[in-house]
Amino acid sequence: MRNLLFTLAYDGSGYHGWQIQENAPTVQEAFQKALYQATGLREDLKACSRTDTGVHAREFCVSLKTESLIPPQRLAAALNHYLPPDIAVKSCRPVPEDFHARYSCKGKEYCYEIWNHPVRDPFLQSRALHYWYPLDETLLDRAAQAYMGRHDFASFCTLDKRERGDLCRTVSAARVERRGDLVVFTVAADGFLYNMVRIMAGTLLYVQQGKLAPEELPAVLAARNRRAAGPTAPACGLYLNRVFY
């Protein structure tokens, strides 16, 4: 029995997130199908997180314990043969027996990308939020600094049927930068709540629109009330960028 770590990249626009659902295509379903075609085994996968419908990943990690004897490089190549074009295995390597893609994770980095131009880019359809009004990336970067440090992010979380639990997270990086007509919000933390990054991005857009001042964001955090923050930005602009172990 070997424990293997797979690093995936995928365009999530055609999927209802990572986790298997009834009557909806998911990335996990596609990966498990390819794995069965390559090995003939139905494995129990451990994923680094769940991504929602329409969310993308440049680095998504999956671990599994398998009896397959196929060498890691050959197994990665076999999976890429069977996977659809919008999902790819970037690497596969052995890891210690006690490694778990989710519980061994020390943190993650997400990017939220905004196409900031009066005219939409057809090649970024479903891959970036089109925001045609001017964006002041310097203002937004200043506002994003309020996210830094350890806070209760209840104001930046969509509560669902999952147990509420501890809503405190430590943000180690938060910045907004412009790359031509693309404005990118990057945030890294030891963990993220449901819709947290999308609400952070939507709140920054509220700052741009003058509905909040950068100096008001600490009060939004302190409120611990979802209604104090801005809207949830669309899923199309969100990327899981890096996973830290």
Q: How many residues does the chain have?
A: 245
Cβ pair 226, 157 in contact under 8 A: yes
Q: Which residues of 101-128 are buried (b: 16+ CB within 10 A; e: fewer)?
A: beebbebbbbbbbbbbeeeeeeebeebb
Secondary structure, 3-state, 64-97: EEECCCCCHHHHHHHHHHHCCCCEEEEEEEECCC
Cα separation, 114 vs 142, in Å, equals 17
Interior angle at CA 238, CA 235 and CA 240, nearest 5: 130
Catalytic residue among 11, 44, 52, 98: 52
Compute how many other C-beta atoms are within 10 angstroms of the C-beta atom of residue 159.
12
What tokens appear for 179 in the block?
Answer: 């790359």
Q: Looking at residue 33, what DSSP letter applies?
A: H
Active site (annotated) includes residue 136 = no
Cα separation, 50 vs 126, in Å, equals 19
Residues with a known catalytic role:
52
